[in-house]
Structure 1
Amino acid sequence: MGTFTEHSAEEQSISYRFPKEERLRSKKLIEQLFREGSSFNSYPLRFVALHVPVPSELPVQVLVSVSKRNFKKAVDRNRLKRQMREAYRLHKHVFSKPTPESGTWYIGILYIGKEKNPFNLISKKLNSGLERLLLK
Structure 2
Amino acid sequence: MYTFKKEERLCNKTIIDGLFRSGSSFLCYPYKVSWAFTDRFSVPAQVVFAAPKKRFKHAVDRNLIKRRMREAYRLHKQQQLYDQLTAMDKHLALSLVYVGTEVLDYITIEKKMLKMFGLLSQQLAK
* TM-score under structure 2 length normalisation: 0.89
Report which stretch shifted further, 39-48 or 68-77.
39-48
Equivalents in 2 of 1:71, 1:56: separation in Å? 32
Instruction: Determine which structure has the larger helix proportion and give its number.
Output: 2
User: Percent of pairs identical after alignment?
Assistant: 39
> Whose Rg is larger?
1
Q: 1:91 aligns with which of 76, 89, 109?
A: 76
**CA RMSD, Structure 1 to Structure 2 (Å):** 1.5
Q: Normalised by the size of structure 1, how large is the TM-score? A: 0.83
Distance 1:24 1:56 in 2: 10
Number of aligned residue pairs: 120
Match of 1:9 in 2: none
Runs ≥4 residues deviating over 4 A:
none
Could you say which residue in structure 1 is the equivalent of 2:116? 129
Q: Which residue identity lines up with residue 16 of structure 1 in the other structure?
A: Y
Structure 2 equivalent of residue 105 of structure 1: 92
In the alignment, structure 1 segments of 5+ residues that lack a partner are: 1-14
Quote the Cα distance in structure 1 between the aligned partners of 2:41 and 2:48: 18
CA–CA distance in structure 2, aligned partners of residues 117 and 103 of structure 1 = 32
Kept in 2, the 8 Å contact 1:56–1:103? The answer is no
Q: Which runs of 5+ in 2 are unaligned?
A: none
